Amino acid sequence: MTAGAILLAGGVSTRFESDKRFSRLRNGRKLLDTSIENILKSGLPLLVCLRDTDSELEATLTSRGISCLRCPDSKLGIGHTLASGIYSVRESWHAVLIALADMPLIQPRSFCSVRDAIEPGKIVVSSYKGRRGHPVGFDRSYFRELMMLSGDQGARNIISTNSGSIVSIKVDDPGIIVDVDCKADLATINT
C-alpha cells in the first residue's frame, strides 16, 4: 500500500473566463504542467483527475507516463471529481494527498512533509504563517466519506467535522496558500 497525490484538474475555470490549466506562468510554463511537475518531483504516485471531455489532454499526459482519470461528473463540481479519484485509488493507496491544479507553486518538499505526517485515523493539514493550505492528507479511514462527496463541496466539511483528528504541520512554503482564481493572479505569481 502507498500514499499518493490526487491532483484535481477537472474544474471549469468560471472565474478565470478560459481554461486556466493551459495559461502560462511568468516563466513560460503552463499552470497545469507546473503543478504536475512539482508533485512528480516529490516522488509520490500521482493521479490527475480531469474533465470527462479531456480525451486529448488525457492522451498527452498518459503519453508522458502520468496516470489520469476522466471524471464523468466533473461538471457537477469538485466534490464529484474528488469522489471519483478516491474511488479509483481506494484499493491500492493507504492515504491520499489532495492537491489543486491551480496551485502551481507548492514545493515538492511540502508534499513529502504532508505524506510523512499521515497516520491512521488522521487528517494532515499544512499551514504557512498560520494559514491553512494544500495539500491536505487523508488516511484511508476517510475514503468512504470522501467518496460520498458531491456538488461543488470539497473536503472542507470532512475536515471541520473531524477537527479532533487533525494533525497540523507548518511548512516553509508560501506556495501552499497561493492559487490562481482569475487572470490577474497570474501576474502576481513568482515562479
pLDDT at 191 > cutoff 60: no
- H or E segment to which residue 184 belongs: helix 183-188
Taken in order 14, 18, 75, 162, is the CA torsion positive or negative? negative
CATH 3.60.70.12 for domain 2-188, yes or no, is no
What cell numbers appear for 71 in the block? 471524471
Burial annotation 158-172 (CB, 10 A radius, 16+ → b, else e): bbeebeebeeeeebe
pLDDT at 151: 86
How far is 111 from 97, CA to CA, in rounded Å? 8
How far is 145 from 133, CA to CA, in rounded Å? 20
State the average pLDDT over residues 12-23.
Answer: 74
Per mean pLDDT, which range of 7-16, 122-131, 139-148 is the poorest? Answer: 7-16
Q: Provide, rounded to the nearest whole percent, the portion of the chain with pLDDT above 90.
A: 74
Digit-coded pLDDT (tens) for 56-71? 999 999 999 999 999 9
DSSP assignments along 48-111, one per residue = EEEETT-HHHHHHHHHTT-EEEEETTGGG-HHHHHHHHHHHHTTTEEEEEEEETT-TT--HHHH
State the average pLDDT over residues 119-128.
Answer: 97
